[in-house]
């Protein structure tokens, strides 16, 4: 069966769409018109994203092929989707494997691309007041993890078949193995050790988004592995969300600004600041005062993040924050997100500039019209100047960093 797949949202959504494609037993079609079935994997995190996806669902429904709408928005907005596409079949995140609940005993097969994305777990230990994902995928202590043996076996096969980047992802990847109480090898650092020990070959591992209050529990072990083995990207994505303890309390986040600050300082100290730290910030959360907002700005300036994903608060269905008092006007959210984004970009440029003159080994992940782009050892993007303009996706290149912009490093072949 020829299936046209369109995915919105996180890498876990992309991995789930691959799993569904496998279960439906299809081959990818390049366009809705060429397909027997259209699979739209959706995301519920943001209001503006919801509007875009509903419009797309109407468009795809008009193509006249069988339409499957899967994922978080299918679960959060089933009636709204059915109004837009009455004939659509809905598949919720927990039904991706075919049953009523995820067993995590099935992983997507490697599809021949550079990156093999492994959905290690679903669920989380948080209960954040703004988050719809805890409703669509489970949260507040619900965690399901893929068995370590299954993960290692799939990674081994993928690397043998050509994968050069292993992306370990999930809803909150650091909670991996909580359902086995993190014992018997069921935790992220032990799994990393096993993969590095048992999977031979040239590849890189990227660790997905981790909630800071859980990451702290495994930080020493993970930092030790990263120091020892250059196959693990020196890259951490640790959402802070706000620089104000009062706002963190209203968000239901389980750390203070000081605890978060200590974690980031530890990571940078242990890795001699040879690391890429990304974070998420929400501006305009209900009750966020001007003073709270500037606390967030100050924290971004102090901790010098390499990347800040800035989101304007967006009230989501079934969340406490959607009905909280002191909602911030949209025009004010816009002003605040512009300020943080500009400061974050300036800092990113500074941080990239500090890499000029260094040597690095770059994994090529894109070759386009003679432009060779790849990832440095801390996952920074590097545009590599090659006299011959040739480049092979999956190749490792020795490069000297000669220049920097807020987004890219510019490298010359050594």
Q: Which is nearer to ligand SF4, 71 or 374 (CB)?
A: 71
Number of shown-chain residues binding ligand SF4 (CB under 6 A)? 11
What span, in angstroms and rounded, lies between the C-alpha atoms of 300 and 243?
8
DSSP designation for 329: P
Q: Which residues in the 117-136 window bind ligand SF4 by CB under 6 A?
A: 124, 126-128, 131, 133-134
Distance of alpha carbon 93 from alpha carbon 98, whole angstroms: 10
Least Cβ distance, residue 321 to ligand SF4 (angstroms): 11
Of the two residues 77 and 154, which places its CB atom closer to ligand SF4 in the complex? Answer: 77
Q: How far is the CB of 12 from ligand SF4 (least distance, A)?
A: 10
Kindly tell me which of 237 and 307 has the beta carbon lying closer to ligand SF4.
237
User: How far lies 231's CA from each of 119, 193, 205, in Å?
Assistant: 19, 11, 6
Q: Note whether 309 and 275 are within 8 A (CB).
A: no
Positions in 204-223 near ligand SF4 (CB under 6 A) = 211
Q: How far is the CB of 46 from ligand SF4 (least distance, A)?
A: 13
| Residue number with CB closer to ligand SF4 (9 or 126) | 126
Cβ of 317: how many Cβ atoms within 10 Å?
A: 16
Kindly state the smallest distance separating residue 298's Cβ from ligand SF4, in Å.
Answer: 23
Question: By rule CB under 6 A, what string of x and - marks binding of each residue 137-176 to ligand SF4?
Answer: --x-------------------------------xx----
- The residues, any chain, with a CB within 8 Å of residue 402's CB and separated by 6 or more, are 356, 385, 410, 411, 412
Nearer to ligand SF4, 212 or 374 (CB): 212
- Dihedral of CA atoms 130, 220, 401, 364 in degrees, nearest 10, equals -70
Rounded Cα distance, 25 and 9, in Å: 23
Comparing every residue's Cβ against ligand SF4, the nearest one is: 126
Query: What is the distance between the terminal CA atoms of the chain, rounded to a whole angstrom?
Result: 48
What is the smallest separation between the CB atom of 238 and ligand SF4, expressed in angstroms?
Answer: 12
* 360 lies in the site for ligand SF4, by CB under 6 A: no
Judge contact between 176 and 170, C-beta under 8 A. Answer: yes
**Nearer Cβ to ligand SF4, position 169 or 171?**
171
Residue 192 tokens, joined: 């990393």
Q: Which is nearer to ligand SF4, 126 or 243 (CB)?
A: 126
**264 and 238 Cβ atoms separated by less than 8 Å:** yes
Q: Are 106 and 97 in contact (CB under 8 A)?
A: yes
Torsion of CA 68, 69, 74, 80, to 10 degrees: -100
* Binding track over 315-354 against ligand SF4, x by CB under 6 A: ----------------------------------------
Cα–Cα distance, 134 to 316 (Å, whole number): 11
**Shortest distance, CB of residue 174 to ligand SF4, whole angstroms?**
10
**Interacting residues with ligand SF4 (CB under 6 A):** 124, 126-128, 131, 133-134, 139, 171-172, 211
């Amino acid at each position: 069966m020829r299936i046209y797949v369109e995915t919105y949202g996180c890498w876990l959504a992309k991995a789930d769409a691959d799993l569904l494609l496998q279960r439906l037993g299809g081959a990818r079609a390049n366009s809705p018109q060429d397909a027997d079935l259209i699979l739209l994997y959706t995301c519920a995190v943001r209001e503006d994203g919801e509007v875009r996806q509903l419009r797309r669902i109407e468009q795809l429904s008009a193509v006249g092929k069988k339409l499957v709408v899967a994922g978080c928005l299918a679960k959060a907005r089933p009636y709204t989707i059915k109004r837009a596409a009455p004939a659509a079949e809905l598949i919720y995140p927990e039904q991706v494997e075919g049953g009523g609940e995820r067993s995590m005993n099935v992983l997507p097969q490697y599809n021949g691309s550079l990156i093999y994305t492994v959905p290690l777990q679903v669920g989380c230990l948080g209960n954040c007041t703004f988050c719809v994902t805890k409703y669509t995928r489970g949260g507040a202590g619900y965690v399901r993890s893929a068995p370590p043996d299954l993960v290692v076996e799939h990674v081994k096969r993928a690397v043998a078949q050509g994968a050069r980047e292993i992306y370990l992802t999930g809803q909150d990847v650091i909670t991996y193995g909580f359902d086995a109480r993190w014992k018997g090898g069921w935790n992220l650092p032990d799994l990393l050790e096993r993969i590095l020990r048992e999977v031979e070959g040239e590849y890189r591992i990227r660790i997905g988004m981790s909630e800071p209050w859980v990451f702290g529990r495994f930080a020493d072990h993970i930092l030790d592995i990263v120091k020892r083995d250059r196959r693990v990207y020196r890259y951490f994505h640790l959402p802070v969300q706000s620089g104000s303890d009062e706002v963190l309390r209203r968000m239901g986040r389980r750390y203070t600004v000081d605890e978060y600050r200590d974690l980031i300082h530890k990571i940078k100290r242990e890795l001699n600041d040879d690391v890429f730290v990304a974070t998420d910030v929400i501006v305009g959360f209900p009750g966020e005062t001007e003073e709270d907002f500037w606390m967030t700005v100050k924290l971004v300036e102090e901790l010098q993040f390499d990347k800040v994903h800035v989101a304007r608060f967006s009230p989501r269905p079934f969340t406490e924050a959607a009905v909280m008092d002191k909602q911030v006007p949209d025009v004010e959210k816009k002003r605040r997100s512009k300020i943080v984004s500009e400061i974050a970009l300036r800092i990113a440029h500074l941080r990239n500039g500090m890499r000029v003159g260094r040597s690095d080994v770059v994994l090529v992940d894109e070759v386009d019209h003679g432009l060779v782009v790849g990832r440095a050892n801390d996952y920074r993007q590097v545009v590599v100047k090659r006299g011959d303009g040739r480049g092979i996706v999956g190749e490792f290149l020795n490069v000297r960093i000669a220049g920097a912009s807020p987004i890219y490093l510019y490298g010359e072949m050594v």
